[in-house]
Structure 1
Amino acid sequence: MQFLNANTQQNVSTSSTLQTPRMLPLKQVVHYTALSSTTIYDMLDKKSNRYDPTFPVQVKMTKGRVAWVESEVADWIKGKISARVH
């Protein structure tokens, strides 16, 4: 995204200064994590034996729609990779 800077009359890129978090629907979270939707919701449920407090919590977008912050899902996956035993 480019904006014209009125002071210098040059195009200034705002992509490095304004980063809108990318939101992932459940289907993409399932794809990226290789977990089922049931497992994901179990990991978010404090009453479940699968509960994982490190798993990213979804964001309520509208009354019937939730999504996850892509960077949080990526960080969770990276944490799992770095925690594995070789």
Structure 2
Amino acid sequence: MKLIKLKDVMASTGLGRSTIYKYIEDGKFPKSVSLGCRAVAWVESEIQDWILERIEERDLQS
């Protein structure tokens, strides 16, 4: 299991910081993992799965 930082999540998804945190708040995005006092990261496979779900949703609408 690999953890990735916010910068990498933003690069992978194309989403901005505030959008990512809003989606988390709304239950629409994987939650971060606390690494300490002011550090968080995300499980890379959860982010990849979230991206694949968006692709599947797109393909179902076609």
Question: Alignment identity in percent?
Answer: 38
Deviation beyond 2 Å, 4+ runs, structure 1: none
Partner of 1:48: none
- Structure 2 gap segments, 5+ residues each: none
What displacement does 1:34 show?
Answer: 0.3
Partner of 1:56: 30
Matched, 1:75 2:55: no
User: Which protein has the bigger strand share?
Assistant: 1
User: Which protein has the bigger helix share?
Assistant: 2
Structure 1 or 2, whichever has the larger Rg, is 1
Larger RCO (alpha carbons 8 Å, 6+ apart): 2
RMSD of the alignment, in Å? 0.9
Give the structure-1-normalised TM-score.
0.66
Q: Report the count of equivalent residues.
A: 60
